[in-house]
Amino acid sequence: MDHAPRPARESLLVRAARHEPGARPPVWFMRQAGRSLPEYRAIREGVGMLESCRRPDLVTEITMQPVRRHGVDAAIFFSDIVVPVGAVGIDLDIVPGVGPVVAQPVATRADLDRLPELTGEHVPDITESVRLLVAELGDTPLIGFAGAPFTLASYLVEGGPSKTHARTKALMHADPALWHDLCARLAQISGEFLRVQVEAGASAVQLFDSWAGALSRRDYEEFVQPHSRVALGAVADLDVPRIHFGVGTGELLASMGAAGAEVVGVDFRVDLDDANERLGGRYALQGNLDPALLFAPWEVIEAHVRRIVTQGRAAAGHILNLGHGVPPETDPDVLTRIVELVKSLGE
Ligand code: 1CP
């Protein structure tokens, strides 16, 4: 099947993700669309986060902003990991300065009734936004994304952001049957959300399991990996590369790759050399400049970008990115300069 236009499918990003050689790594930044950009803050003035994710005019404009400004090699679809659970009817909001907040957290089996399966009919706006974007992006690939079952479950069970994921882990161990049923629903929702984006023209996908690093490898493999495998498997027949990312996942890298990804996202705590060794050289890597270094002098940033590019050459493929999202206080010119540097390495 061939959904995206040819050129985007032959882009540096897709080629690196497919383990094909390139003159330099492609570069994009997690959270490149967002609060570090004045044009983003201006367009979001007076519009709630969830509303802005459901309006194709805003989604397309916000997704394009970093592409125009920085010349990154990929666009990331402007949305949020909680958009699909909101679309099936979970009452939630994305509160400024906080993040996703769920009105009635999930605690019992009866709560699963509030979480029906996602179909394309829940998210016609997502299809429309992706179509508009793909037309505007031309040969720049669009990365579709979804939250992984564990990270989504954490927001649903905790009711909002959590540092410890205590209730989530307690539910996982106290009622494994309910945990697995909850994650099976979330895997369907995440998988279908990815599928909708790819069918509308996205050229790659990223599954964000941002908080999986809170788990031991044992718990990850028993309680999480089977569900992430289902979510990633939902687009397996659509011929797009899949990136699997989490924070603090040094112990989980091999398990995350084995869940069904071509690219493993590496946060800033693990050197790419070590990540590649842990993954047996079988995956492309994405990462991993420490976002904190964006506040260091340019010479420091440049040295680290060059080191990361060199380390990435040993892997089956490399996509240059940060080790986590762009901090809101980042000077956007620094990101532009990193893109220019990486591009100069291929000349
Ligand atoms: O007021 C605002 O502008 C809201 C801030 C914001 C933005 C810009 C939130 C709230 N979400 C987003 C967009 C977003 N979220 C994108 C698209 C933009 C891009 O990447 O360029 C993506 C990919 C996400 C994904 C997301 N949302 C993740 C996974 C990525 C990660 O950072 O690990 C997570 C964990 C969320 C939840 C969330 N949404 C928003 C916040 C502040 C949070 C994190 C809350 C927490 O700490 O738990």
Q: Average pLDDT of 151-176?
A: 98
**Dist CA 149 CA 167 (whole Å):** 15
Cβ–ligand 1 contact at 150 (below 6 Å): no
Using the structure block, give the residue that is written with the tokens 């028993």. Answer: 222
Judge contact between 150 and 210, C-beta under 8 A: no
Distances (CA, A) of 132 to 44, 142, 148, 184: 19, 11, 26, 31
C-alpha 149 – ligand 1 centre gap (Å):
16
Looking at domain 6-344, which CATH architecture does it have?
A: Alpha-Beta Barrel (3.20)
Residue 3 has a pLDDT of: 55
Q: Burial level of 23, CB count in 10 A (0-12/13-18/19+)?
A: exposed
Q: Residue 318's beta-bridge partner residues?
A: 285
* DSSP E strand boundaries for 197-238: 204-208
Cβ–ligand 1 contact at 64 (below 6 Å): no
User: Tokens in use for 53?
Assistant: 């994710």
Sheet of 317-322, strand order: 75-76, 142-147, 204-208, 242-245, 263-265, 284-289, 317-322
**Dist CA 318 CA 312 (whole Å):** 5
Ligand 1 atom showing the smallest separation from residue 162 Cα: 48
**Dist CA 217 CA 251 (whole Å):** 6
Tens digit of each residue's pLDDT (9 = 90 or more) over 276-291:
999 999 999 999 999 9
Residue 347 has a pLDDT of: 86
- Between β-strands 99-102 and 92-95, what pairing exists: parallel, antiparallel or unpaired? antiparallel
Q: Residue 143's beta-bridge partner residues?
A: 76, 204
Judge contact between 316 and 284, C-beta under 8 A: yes
Residue 9 has a pLDDT of: 85
Q: Is the pLDDT of residue 43 over 70?
A: yes
The residue contributing the CA closest to ligand 1 atom 40 is: 99
Q: Report, as residue numbers or ranges, the catalytic residues.
A: 31, 35, 44, 80, 155
DSSP 4-58: S-HHHHTSHHHHHHTT---SS--B--TT-SSTT-HHHHHHHTT--HHHHHT-HHH
Cβ–ligand 1 contact at 80 (below 6 Å): yes
Tens digit of each residue's pLDDT (9 = 90 or more) over 224-274:
999 999 999 999 999 999 999 999 999 999 999 999 999 999 999 999 999
Which of 2-11, 89-98, 144-153 is the least confident region? 2-11
Cβ–ligand 1 contact at 30 (below 6 Å): yes
User: Domain map of the chain by residue range?
Assistant: 6-344
Cβ–ligand 1 contact at 84 (below 6 Å): no
C-alpha 76 – ligand 1 centre gap (Å):
12
